[in-house]
């Protein structure tokens, strides 16, 4: 087999495995084997850039960065849906329909997936573009991000039309959402409110590699195009399945509104058995000719109707309000409830957010409260049932001292939360900071977990994260459940963290409001911890996207003697506290302010190297051409549509060599 065939064969095989795993939910090889094959393909593609294919399975990992999403007009307008809330609403709808069409009417019942609607255009079996609904007429092109979603086929199977649009909902399954939130809570970041907002927010992330990390799915519900030779909605769903799309099997074809009502009732009861959230049911006239006869109102099709479920609410007793202390010392009040069944789970606790919230609700221990799960997974207390309040309940007094260390709490002007200021002596803060330091997105110390950190602190072996570098195997072996092998792993994991680049070390330090993105910005701007430590508030706020709140927090952090001492210690141990010389040498600002599109296959360097060069020299890589594009770097086999678009917009098209000359 020649290399090209070998690459194609691997791509086909990986596509099939991807389909088996994500669409059919029926994997036939292990994740490990899949990874090996993917790496094999990656290596072949790297070595043979001439066979590059934007729709290869290797492209799912993302990497393209989009600063501005191009506005794109839909070929077929994306309408909204009319809503109904009762049996009567549905019967009225049926009456209206029956007046307008002849013959019997069948209905396709589908679930109303709660996510972000998306239109995909396919041409010759390949994904051409993905555009958000926007205002229905035009939306934002988010192709680079959507490509990373595993249930979006990049290459179709079977007998598909030459060109068509396909619509569906991008959703975040509940399990994946909870996992993302677990991580955020561990990082002391505000958890995401609900899967829907998180899904739609993901689509607008600038870095598609970030999107690739999120377990999004595309669930499909409609096909649009000219001469598609499809007669009914239900048939369309079947066809889409054959071409490789994920169409939930819950869709059902029925012959009457009564049967529609049965479907609604069934799913209202059973919706919590689904792996994703739905907020209702969508009923569609099945026959597409009848749909044509019915047409559209200004806003929505007459042939479809959404039935919205009610938000679920129960009432239960508030037994106790307790208080948690986070890594940054922030206090969160928690409502401990009499366990109650709600929306498919048993609810025992709900967050009360802060003192203001408690005051607003006038909530007291012993109250009967209404708890709701609307779009949110985390239950919310809506109100107190005052009619049930016993006469002797006393108003809640918010705590004034830390429940963990008894220090008096502070409240910063203008902030909702109280803080425990005992930075160095409050156990959850001390432990939490070290746990954050070793976490996956920070120093990623293998062989060391959160519980071991707590144990090490309790045993007095460490007090801050710099102490980790002093630990010896002999010191940790005596710890509970610590074998010699795991002790060695721990020490070598700590050692390996000395190679973690500066931007992640900066994130790991746990400065309040300095998350991953801010850490990257600061590292890029200041290049070393010394420069950052000496920066003033005025200096910091002059950095792109750094506001006063962050600036003050950075200055406060480095204003502490103790923090400076810890940083100095990290330095002596060899932790990366500046951008590496190699990285620095390759960085300039030559392309500052320029937005550059790269297209085609290149001779001297690979596409990825080219993109890296652009970023290292201060430019922005953009995936699509717009009036804001500064250059199109054109390689061999560049798509003709890109060229035409660039020419129409008068954008300079330059060769690889010309680009390299600019950098010289």
Report the catalytic residues: 112
Q: Minimum CB separation from Zn ion for residue 443, in Å? A: 25
- Is 110 annotated for ligand binding? yes
Interacting residue with ligand AMP among 17, 60, 112, 246 (CB under 6 A): 112
With CB cut-offs between 5 and 8 Å by kind, which of ligand AMP, Zn ion, none does residue 206 bind?
none
Task: Specify the residue, 139 or 510, whose C-beta has the smaller distance to ligand AMP.
Answer: 139
Q: Does 140 bind ligand AMP (CB under 6 A)?
A: no
Cβ atoms of 16 and 571 within 8 Å: the answer is: no
**Distance (Å, whole) CA 618 – CA 606:** 19
| Closest distance of CB 649 from ligand AMP, Å | 31
Of 110-118, 287-295, 415-423, 477-485: span binding ligand AMP (CB under 6 A): 110-118
Angle 34-39-41 (CA atoms, 0-180°, nearest 5)? Answer: 95
CA–CA dist 76, 524 (Å, integer): 43
Q: Is 308 annotated as a binding residue?
A: yes
DSSP 513-526: T--HHHHHHHHHHH
420 is in an annotated binding site: yes
Based on the number of CB atoms within 10 Å of its own CB, is 299 exposed (0-12), middle (13-18) or buried (19 or more)? exposed
Q: Whole-number minimum distance, CB 144 to ligand AMP, in Å? A: 21
Q: Which of 205, 216, 306, 377 binds ligand AMP (CB under 6 A)?
A: 306
Angle of the 561-573 helix axis to the 548-559 helix axis, nearest 10 = 80
Give yes or no for residue 331 binding Zn ion (CB under 5 A): no
The closest alpha carbon to 302, from 79, 117, 133, 112, belongs to 79
> What is the residue-wise DSSP string for 215-237?
--EEEEEEEE-SS----BHHHHH
Exposed e or buried b per residue across 500-509, where buried means at least 16 C-beta atoms within 10 angstroms of its C-beta: bebbbbbbbb
Answer with the entry of ligand AMP, Zn ion, none that 132 interacts with (C-beta below 5 to 8 A by kind): none
* Edge-to-edge strands, sheet with 217-224: 126-132, 116-123, 163-171, 217-224
Residue 422 binds what, of Zn ion, ligand AMP, none (CB under 5 to 8 Å, by partner type)?
Zn ion
* 170 contacts 205 by C-beta, under 8 angstroms: no
Interaction between residue 203 and ligand AMP (CB under 6 A): no
Least distance to ligand AMP from the beta carbon of 300, Å?
A: 7
Place of tokens 């959230």: 277
- Radius of gyration of the chain from Cα atoms? 28
Select 112 or 607, whichever has its Cβ closest to ligand AMP.
112
Is 109 labeled as ligand-binding?
no
Among 402, 443, 579, 634, binds Zn ion (CB under 5 A): 402
Contact (Cβ atoms closer than 8 angstroms) between residue 27 and residue 20:
yes
498 is annotated as contributing to ligand binding: no
Q: How far is the CB of 526 from Zn ion (least distance, A)?
A: 31
Is 33 within any annotated ligand binding site?
Answer: yes
- The verdict on 80 binding ligand AMP (CB under 6 A) reads yes
Assess 418 for contact with ligand AMP (CB under 6 A): no
Answer whether 420's CB lies under 8 Å from 405's CB.
yes
- Specify whether the CB–CB gap between 384 and 396 falls below 8 A: no
Q: Is 284 annotated as a binding residue?
A: yes
Residue 113 sits in the site that holds ligand AMP (CB under 6 A): yes
| Residue 172 contacts ligand AMP per CB under 6 A | no
Helix (H, G, I), strand (E, B) or coil at 649: coil
- Interface with ligand AMP includes 221 (CB under 6 A)? yes
7-16 contacts, C-beta under 8 A, 24 or more apart: 7/41, 7/44, 7/45, 7/48, 7/51, 10/37, 10/40, 10/41, 10/44, 11/41, 11/53, 11/56, 11/57, 11/155, 13/37, 14/38, 14/41, 14/57, 15/57, 15/153, 15/154, 15/155
Shortest Cβ contact with ligand AMP: which residue?
117
Q: Does 220 bind ligand AMP (CB under 6 A)?
A: no
405 binds Zn ion (CB under 5 A): yes
474 appears as a binding residue in the annotation: no
Return the closest-CA partner of residue 420 out of 434, 436, 431, 406.
406
CA atoms within 13 A on the CB side of 194: 16
Is 307 among the residues that bind ligand AMP (CB under 6 A)? no
If one asks whether residue 420 binds ligand AMP (CB under 6 A), the answer comes out as no
Residue 32 labeled ligand binder: yes
Does the footprint of ligand AMP cover residue 487 (CB under 6 A)? no
Among 404, 464, 503, 656, binds Zn ion (CB under 5 A): 404
First to last CA, the chain: 41
Half-sphere exposure of 592 (CA within 13 A, CB side): 5
Of positions 70, 219, 304, 426, contacts Zn ion by CB under 5 A = 426
**Interface pick for ligand AMP out of 110, 140, 165, 578 (rule CB under 6 A):** 110
Nearer to ligand AMP, 282 or 634 (CB): 282
Q: How far is the CB of 246 from ligand AMP (least distance, A)?
A: 13
Rule CB under 6 A: say whether 302 interacts with ligand AMP: no
- # of chain residues touching Zn ion (CB under 5 A): 7
Smallest gap from Cβ 196 to ligand AMP, in A, equals: 10
Q: Tell me if residue 626 falls in helix, strand or coil.
A: coil
What element of type H or E holds 194? Answer: none
Q: Is 235 annotated as a binding residue?
A: no
Does position 430 interact with Zn ion (CB under 5 A)? The reply is no
Binding residues for ligand AMP, rule CB under 6 A, total 11
Q: Which does 221 bind (CB under 5 to 8 A by kind): Zn ion, ligand AMP, none?
A: ligand AMP
426 is known to lie in a ligand binding site: yes
Residues near Zn ion (CB under 5 A): 402, 404-405, 407, 420, 422, 426
Report the interface residues with ligand AMP, using CB under 6 A: 80-81, 110, 112-113, 117, 133, 169, 221, 282, 306
Binding residues for Zn(2+): 402, 405, 420, 426
Annotated binding-site residues for NAD(+) read 31-35, 80-81, 110, 133, 169, 284, 308
């Amino acid at each position: 087999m020649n290399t090209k065939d070998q690459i194609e064969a691997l791509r086909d095989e990986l596509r099939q495995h991807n389909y088996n795993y994500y669409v059919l939910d029926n994997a036939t090889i292990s994740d490990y084997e899949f990874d090996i094959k993917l790496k094999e393909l990656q290596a072949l593609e790297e070595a043979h850039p001439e066979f590059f294919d934007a729709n290869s399975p290797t492209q799912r990992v993302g990497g393209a960065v989009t600063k501005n999403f191009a506005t794109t007009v839909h070929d077929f307008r994306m309408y909204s849906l009319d809503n109904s809330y009762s049996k009567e609403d549905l019967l009225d709808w049926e009456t209206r329909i029956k007046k307008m069409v002849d013959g019997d009417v069948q209905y396709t019942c589908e679930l109303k997936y709660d996510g972000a609607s998306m239109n995909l255009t396919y041409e010759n079996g390949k994904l051409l573009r993905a555009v958000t609904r926007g205002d229905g007429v035009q939306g934002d092109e988010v192709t680079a991000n959507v490509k990373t979603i595993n249930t979006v086929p990049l290459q179709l199977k079977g007998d598909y039309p030459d060109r068509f649009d396909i619509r569906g909902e991008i959703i975040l399954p509940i399990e994946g959402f909870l996992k993302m939130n677990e991580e955020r809570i561990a990082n002391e970041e505000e958890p995401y409110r609900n899967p829907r907002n998180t899904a739609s927010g993901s689509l607008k992330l600038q870095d598609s590699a970030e999107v690739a990390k999120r377990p999004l799915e595309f669930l499909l519900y409609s096909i649009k195009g000219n001469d598609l030779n499809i007669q009914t909605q239900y048939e369309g769903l079947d066809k889409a399945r054959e071409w490789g799309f994920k169409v939930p099997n819950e869709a059902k074809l029925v012959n009457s509104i009564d049967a529609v009502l049965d479907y609604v009732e069934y799913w209202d009861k059973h919706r919590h058995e689904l792996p994703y959230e739905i907020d209702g049911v969508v009923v569609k006239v099945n026959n597409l000719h009848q749909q044509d006869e019915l047409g559209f109102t200004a806003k929505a099709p007459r042939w479809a109707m959404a039935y919205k479920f009610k938000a679920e609410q129960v009432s239960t007793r508030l037994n106790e309000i307790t208080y948690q202390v986070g890594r940054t010392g922030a206090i969160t009040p928690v409502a401990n409830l009499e366990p109650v069944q709600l929306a498919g789970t048993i609810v025992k606790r709900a967050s009360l957010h802060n003192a203001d919230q408690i005051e607003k609700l006038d909530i007291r221990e012993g109250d009967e409260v209404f708890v709701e799960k609307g779009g949110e997974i985390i239950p919310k207390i809506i109100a107190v049932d005052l009619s049930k309040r016993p006469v002797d309940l006393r108003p809640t007094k918010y705590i004034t001292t830390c429940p963990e260390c008894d220090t008096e709490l502070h409240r910063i002007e203008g902030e909702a939360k109280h803080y425990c200021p005992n930075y160095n002596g409050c156990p959850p803060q001390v432990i939490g900071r070290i746990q954050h330091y070793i976490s996956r997105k920070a120093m990623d110390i293998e062989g060391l977990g959160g519980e071991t950190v707590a144990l090490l602190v309790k045993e007095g072996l460490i007090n801050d994260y710099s102490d980790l570098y002093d630990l010896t195997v002999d010191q940790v072996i005596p710890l509970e459940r610590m074998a010699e092998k795991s002790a060695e792993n721990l020490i070598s994991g700590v050692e390996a963290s000395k190679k973690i680049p500066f931007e992640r070390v900066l994130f790991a330090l746990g400065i309040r409001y300095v998350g991953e993105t801010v850490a990257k910005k600061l590292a890029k701007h200041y290049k070393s911890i010394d420069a950052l430590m000496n920066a003033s508030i005025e200096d910091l706020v002059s950095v792109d996207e750094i506001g006063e709140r962050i600036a003050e927090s950075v200055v406060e952090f480095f204003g502490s003697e103790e923090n400076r001492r810890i940083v100095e210690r990290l330095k002596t141990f060899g932790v990366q506290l500046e951008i590496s010389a190699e990285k620095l040498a390759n960085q300039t600002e030559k392309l500052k302010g320029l937005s550059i599109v790269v297209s085609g296959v290149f001779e001297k360097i690979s596409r990825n190297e080219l993109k890296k060069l652009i970023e290292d020299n201060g430019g922005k890589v953009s995936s699509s051409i717009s009036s804001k594009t500064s250059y199109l770097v054109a390689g061999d086999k560049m798509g003709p549509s890109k060229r035409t678009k660039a020419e129409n917009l008068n954008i300079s098209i330059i060769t690889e060599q010309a680009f390299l000359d600019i950098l010289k």
